[in-house]
Structure 1
Amino acid sequence: MSAPAGTLTDLIRTIETSPIVDRSAAAQALSVVRDGVLTGEGPTAAGRVHFSRSLDSGDYGWCNRILTSAALDQQPVSRAEAEMLFEINDAATERLDDGRFDDLFAKAIVHHAAAASGLPVPARTVALSPQTAIETWAPTTAIGVNIEVLEWIAAQMRGKRRNNRKLLTLVAGLIGAATTLPLAQSLPGLLDFSM
């Protein structure tokens, strides 16, 4: 069910102008984007032709605007935001955004994973920028990466029709590096590497 137009506008205004923003507002705004991707209708599709189950540059723009608002810049991507991004990724069977959402999606998930593991992450505007290569800040070893977070990501990706190649590569590398850890030995079976 799509939210009324005022709801998204109000959420975006809160996210962009409030000095203290709960990241749940960003997750809620991302759910409105998800609904628009699913139905092709609603506030995120207003004023343009939008087909259901497609993700276009407008949808990417909404996601980017929500995730990189100034009020959230110094906060790591939350689990709720990451879950919504997985749902948007799953909802979009057709991509018309030149890969921009896939790049944002991979960076946001890794930003969440690193921060949830207690590792330092750059500000969102740096980490999620299309000009910043994920390899410049993402963890490259499993040292310090929370196994529960890797398990959660693997579970989100398992059996999906469309997986993000960049995210798969990073998670597979972390899992490979973590194979000496007891819980990590079960992780490779969680990932379905078919694209």
Structure 2
Amino acid sequence: MSTAAVAEVFGALEPSAIADRRTAAEALTVVRDGVITGEGPTTKGRIHFSRALDADDAAWCARILGASALASQPVSRDEAEALFAINAAARERSDEGRFDDLFAKAVVHHAASASGLPVPSRDIALSPDVSIDSWAPTKAVGVNVEVLEWIASQMRAKRVSNATIMTLLAAVVGAATLPLAQLPAVFDIGM
């Protein structure tokens, strides 16, 4: 990639350059590529190992999803899919759980909003200082079955097994009454 192309991609990752959810999803794929290869505009100026996700990668994701142009829009399926891909790409984590928190909140935000349920703005919903319990649906009533099937297929395909997303999805699915150990059976996945 030429220097000009790298500069263009890097500029497109800045929140002020993100105009819509499609652009945000594309920017998240650049983060994913950096996680996979350890190279690229999101790793510039620092040591980054391939298949590793660090605090800077999590911060990139938070800045992209928090772009001001997206503030009043719910997390899109494309953005959620990009986060599933980042999660699957990262074999090592050194972000103190920040990505897992953001990932789970973004997926639940998408699932609830796609089901027509009320959700807070992104700055509230995705904030590390706001508990998901304060806004996420606590019952499956009103949750779109197609959305739940999509999440289950993503979890199976990407082998999602982190406890944070499993617990939070339990709230959306209404499986909160199930012991956490039984939740993988609901989605036909292993923890």
TM-score by length of 2: 0.87
The percentage of counterpart residues that share the same residue type is 59
Structure 1: segments with no counterpart, 5+ residues: 179-186
For each residue in 1:96-118, what CA deviation from the matched residue of structure 2 results, as whole angstroms up to 9, or x when unmatched? 10000000000000000011001
Paired position in structure 2 for 1:144: 142
Paired position in structure 1 for 2:68: 70
Q: Helix, strand or coil: the match of 2:108?
A: helix
Counting only pairs closer than 5 Å after superposition, residues 108-119 of structure 1 correspond to structure 2 as 108-119=106-117
Counting only pairs closer than 5 Å after superposition, residues 5-154 of structure 1 correspond to structure 2 as 5-13=6-14, 15-16=15-16, 21-154=19-152
Q: Are 2:187 and 1:190 equivalent residues in the alignment?
A: yes
Whole-angstrom CA distance in 2 between matches of 1:46 and 1:156: 30
1:44–1:35 Cα change, 3 Å: same
Whole-angstrom CA distance in 2 between matches of 1:28 and 1:174: 27
For each residue in 1:64-101, what CA deviation from the matched residue of structure 2 results, as whole angstroms up to 9, or x when unmatched? 00001111111000000000000000000000100000
TM-score by length of 1: 0.85
Cα RMSD between the aligned structures?
2.4
For each residue in 1:8-52, what CA deviation from the matched residue of structure 2 results, as whole angstroms up to 9, or x when unmatched? 333234x4257xx22100000000000000000000000000000
Higher-helix-fraction structure: 2
Paired position in structure 2 for 1:181: none
